[in-house]
């Protein structure tokens, strides 16, 4: 990776680190693993936003104002604001809230993005509340990505 920039954002509950990296979106899990090997958890970004290039001002310096505001990424199959949230969106929202991450890739493993068992219990409670049904915590370990968990929840009658 040739270019990256990290900055702090306030997500309403306090500051979090957000990284902007010149990389392909598919490389984000690899980049996250690379950082996990080299940085303590407190220094790892909560979100990594892939970019084609870092925006520069006319003087050639980084244009911080042009950096995109990190958002929760939900795949294209998401519903419109007027329709009920899909299971995929509900799972992504639960991860987003518990991990305090601006960005949640639906295919990233919960435990690879600083999740741990105590946070997983919080996700389980949020999902049980939002879905109004029992969500076994063991299934969250078995289906550790947003997409896999949503698929499981949609296909099970639990």
Architecture of the CATH domain 87-155: Orthogonal Bundle (1.10)
Sorting pLDDT into bands at 50, 70 and 90, what band is 46? confident
CATH 3.30.300.30 fits domain 4-66? yes
Q: What is the reported pLDDT for 54?
A: 93
CA atoms within 13 A on the CB side of 88: 15
Domain boundaries, the chain: 4-66, 87-155
Write 132-139 long-range contacts (CB < 8 A, 24+): 133/158, 134/158
Phi, psi of 142 (to 5 degrees): -70, -30
Residues 6+ apart with CB under 8 A from 143: 149, 151, 152
Q: What is the 3-state composition of the chain as percent helix, strand, coil, each rounded to the nearest 5?
A: 45, 15, 45
Task: Tell me what percent of the residues of the chain surpass a pLDDT of 90.
Answer: 22
Residue whose structure tokens are 């220094």: 43
Q: Report pLDDT digits (tens) over 82-110.
A: 445 688 888 988 998 898 876 778 888 89
- In sign, the C-alpha dihedral spanning 129, 136, 120, 79 is negative
């Amino acid at each position: 990776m040739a270019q990256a920039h990290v900055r702090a954002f306030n997500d309403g509950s306090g500051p979090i680190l957000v990284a902007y990296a010149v990389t392909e979106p598919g490389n984000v899990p690899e980049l996250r693993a690379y950082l996990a090997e080299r940085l303590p958890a407190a220094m790892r970004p909560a979100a990594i936003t892939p970019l084609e290039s870092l925006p520069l001002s006319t003087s050639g310096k980084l244009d911080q104002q042009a950096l995109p505001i990190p958002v929760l990424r939900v795949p294209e199959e998401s519903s419109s604001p007027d329709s009920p949230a899909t299971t995929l969106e509900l799972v992504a929202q639960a991860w987003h809230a518990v991990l305090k991450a601006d960005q949640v890739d639906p295919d990233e493993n919960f435990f690879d993005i600083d999740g741990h068992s105590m946070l997983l219990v919080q996700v389980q409670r949020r999902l049980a509340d939002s879905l109004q049904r029992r969500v076994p915590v063991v299934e969250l370990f078995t289906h550790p990505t947003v997409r896999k968990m949503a698929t499981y929840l949609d296909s099970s009658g639990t």
